[in-house]
Amino acid sequence: MSKKCMYNTNYECRYHKNDIFLETDKVNDDEQDYIRNILYREDLLNIFNISEEDEFDNITEILSKMYLKLKNCLELKNIMYKIANKFLSEDEEFGLCILYSYDYMYLTHKCVCHYLENKNISDNLIMALKDKITS
């Protein structure tokens, strides 16, 4: 695994944005999903500053280290617990793994960046993530 693995708080996720496709693009829904999945993977690698060869082999270890940095954030800890509960688990670290899945990563990343930079998370960001996991 790369020794450089640090969280990239300057990175902005792209996979979920509507403006990645132009009106003139001739791509059907399946092609859009395929492209979004590629972008999601790229976003995940960039967030954790890992290379293609490091890839997901060590993502569990990386997320375990992230959990240690985030476990004192009560707002995120509650969300981790709540999302893990949806999968019949009480393991908050497992919840963090789920929060980096396709459906939630763009919001999770914003919350984590805010926490790492400010030691708190804005109410708007927390509410957006809570709303997403309950929808």
Please check whether residue 123 lies inside any domain of the structure: yes
pLDDT in tens, 66-89: 999 999 999 999 999 999 999 999
pTM for the full predicted model: 0.88
12/120 Cα distance (integer angstroms)? 19
**Closest by CA position to 90, among listed 100, 66, 125, 98:** 98
pLDDT score recorded for residue 3: 43
Give the whole-angstrom CA distance, residue 109 versus residue 120: 14
Mean pLDDT calculated for residue range 23-38: 90
Residue 1 lies in a domain: no
Residue 6 to residues 27, 50, 57, 65: CA-CA distances in angstroms?
A: 35, 8, 16, 10
Domain for residue 8, yes or no?
A: no
Confidence of residue 1 (pLDDT cuts 50, 70, 90): very low
Residue 7 lies in a domain: no
The answer to the question of residue 79 being in a domain is yes
Candidates 27, 40, 10; CA nearest to 101 is 40
**Residue 23's pLDDT band (boundaries 50, 70, 90)?**
confident
Query: Which residue range forms the structural domain that includes residue 93?
Result: 18-134
Q: Quick check: is 5 in a domain? A: no
Q: How many domains does the chain have?
A: 1
Do the domain assignments include residue 83? yes
Q: What is the pLDDT of residue 2?
A: 39
Residue 86 domain-assigned (yes or no): yes
What is the per-residue pLDDT across 92-124, written as a single tens digit (0 to 9) for each? Answer: 999 999 999 999 999 999 999 999 999 999 999
Share of the chain above pLDDT 70, in %: 93
